[in-house]
Amino acid sequence: MKKLIKNGIIVTAADTYTGDMLIESGVIAQIGLQIDAQDAEVIDASGCYVFPGGIDPHTHLDMPFGGTVTADDFESGTIAAAYGGTTTVIDFCLTTKGQPLQQAVDTWHAKSQDKAVIDYSFHLMVSELSDRVLGELPQIIEDEGITSLKVFMAYKNTFQADDGTLYKTLQTAKQEGALVMVHAENGDVIEYLVEQALAAGNTDPIYHALTRPPELEGEATGRAAYLTELTDSQLYVVHVTCAEAAWKIAEARKKGLRVYGETCPQYLVLDVEALAKPDFEGAKYVWSPPLREQWNQDVLWDALWNGSLQTIGSDQCSFDFKGQKELGRGDFSKIPNGGPTIEDRFSILYSEGVQKGRISLNKFVDIISTSSAKLFGLFPQKGTLAVGSDADIVIFDPAVTRTLSAATHHMKVDYNAFEGMEITGEPVSVLSRGEFVIRDRAFVGSAGAGQYLHRKRFAAEASPLPARKEISGGVS
């Protein structure tokens, strides 16, 4: 049945205006003033924003890590995402050395296809670039529509690839029209610092942060940017946490390089002090790269506002405190890295960003949805509200105030990293391709309704660098 969203304040990355929106066959059929459709179900959105559904470009659902598996899988994770206003996730398909790429991708299809309640796609991790992998990659990019390749510069002895592999991946991405994503930390030096800390008897969670200093994130970010320059390729730096890395990205963009960056809600609102909480509670806040000194938050907000960072990913990677984070009691290096963030990403950016005057409403939409759609080959099917686009829509009440808590969240994990945080605004109803997934704050979707998205190849013209004068200030 057709649906007609009436009297909402429609917001895209470019415009804000009051109007009606007609949805037919899963797509936006018409946008205008006073649309009259007799045969449509009317949804009153008075007083609410109508946003394009959030796109989360960075999730780890049902992912093995450090001898355990994330608490949220594609079902609980995408339900929580939908409650939070996200209608598309792009998850990282892991590979192991020697494994055929198609086998790795099939494993991720098996994890997701009967479970996801919203649309989803995959990035592909590159752990080695042997002749075999080089031979397989073009086919995977073409057949699966996986047009982004992830290289870990950290996690020595598990996920880390060497610089030669990163270089070859950038070269291949240039040829094939893919975007290379990096986890930018110097894994070799970190391994040494971790060994030294443990040998000195420093085993508490805070040493996770102290052994991964911001200089090692800045160094790896700069190194990846130089290799991008050398290969004339394109690079997306995931989970940027600190000034050292944000400045490297700004510098690269100033040179005209196709270098893009993402930060995450946790780095915008939490800081390193959390890791020092007593009774091992600091383990709840163990991410890699780690939370930083608080002043970095201003640098990250500035970088989002001035465009040197373009997106916000949740880096959803949830582990229960009991039984999972606890694996690292007595040895911080055994704490599974990551946290539950998929549900609150959208509202934290709205509340802390728009509500507190750090970013505009249109910039919010750009960061939460549009930029990711453009960078990852989904625009304009996703990432905007336009005739012909998928009807992935969030009806958002900006007046509600609420408190984030594990007692009320929908992630399948026993704590909330933002416990007790007061925020303003809430997704009331969420539609995926025209069907309600969340209706009046209740889940009405179904497992398996989410569709796998084959993505287009990277197109620099979709995410142009700003004119020189706009970026001359860099980040402050």
Query: DSSP letter string over 201-224?
Result: T--STHHHHHTS-HHHHHHHHHHH
* 46 exposure class (CB count in 10 Å sphere: 0-12, 13-18, 19+): exposed
Interacting residue with Zn ion among 183, 208, 284, 292 (CB under 5 A): 183
Closer residue to ligand URP, CB minimum distance, 183 or 345:
183
Least separation in angstroms between CB 272 and Zn ion: 17
Least separation in angstroms between CB 77 and ligand URP: 13
The count of residues interacting with ligand URP (CB under 6 A) is 9
Question: Of Zn ion, ligand URP, none, which one does residue 337 interact with (CB within 5 to 8 Å by kind)?
Answer: ligand URP
DSSP for residue 289:
S
Closer residue to ligand URP, CB minimum distance, 6 or 58:
58
Least separation in angstroms between CB 320 and ligand URP: 15
Site for Zn ion contains 315 (CB under 5 A): yes
Which residue has 């592909």 as its token pair? 124
Query: DSSP letter string over 414-430?
Result: S--TTTT-EEEEEEEEE
3-state secondary structure of 339: strand
CA distance readout (Å), 421 to 29, 211, 334, 462 = 39, 28, 28, 36
Closer residue to Zn ion, CB minimum distance, 20 or 219:
219
Residues 4-23 contacting ligand URP, CB under 6 A: none
Q: Angle 231-372-299 (CA atoms, 0-180°, nearest 5)?
A: 80
Asked if residue 89 lies in contact with residue 117, where contact means CB atoms within 8 angstroms, the answer is no
3-state secondary structure of 412: coil
d(CA 334, CA 462): 41
Site for ligand URP contains 288 (CB under 6 A): yes
Site for ligand URP contains 183 (CB under 6 A): yes
Residues 142-161 contacting Zn ion, CB under 5 A: 144
Asked if residue 332 lies in contact with residue 205, where contact means CB atoms within 8 angstroms, the answer is yes
Residues 205-244 contacting ligand URP, CB under 6 A: 239
- The tokens for 262 are 């993402």
Tell me the backbone φ, ψ of residue 346, rounded to 5 degrees.
-65, -50
Site for ligand URP contains 317 (CB under 6 A): yes
Residues 326-365 contacting ligand URP, CB under 6 A: 337-338
Closer residue to Zn ion, CB minimum distance, 96 or 403:
96
Closer residue to ligand URP, CB minimum distance, 54 or 338:
338
The count of residues interacting with Zn ion (CB under 5 A) is 3
Closer residue to Zn ion, CB minimum distance, 104 or 430:
104
Least separation in angstroms between CB 220 and ligand URP: 12
Interacting residue with ligand URP among 244, 315, 344, 426 (CB under 6 A): 315
Interacting residue with ligand URP among 4, 13, 52, 60 (CB under 6 A): 60
Which of these, 320, 289, 305, 345, lies nearest to 89 by C-alpha position? 345
Least separation in angstroms between CB 150 and Zn ion: 9
Closer residue to ligand URP, CB minimum distance, 288 or 369:
288
Least separation in angstroms between CB 240 and Zn ion: 11
Least separation in angstroms between CB 155 and ligand URP: 7
Q: State the alpha helices, DSSP H only, in 349-418.
A: 361-365, 371-375
CA distance readout (Å), 269 to 290, 344, 345 = 13, 12, 11
Asked if residue 225 lies in contact with residue 308, where contact means CB atoms within 8 angstroms, the answer is no
Site for ligand URP contains 270 (CB under 6 A): no
Residues of this chain that bind ligand URP (CB under 6 A): 60, 183, 239, 287-288, 315, 317, 337-338
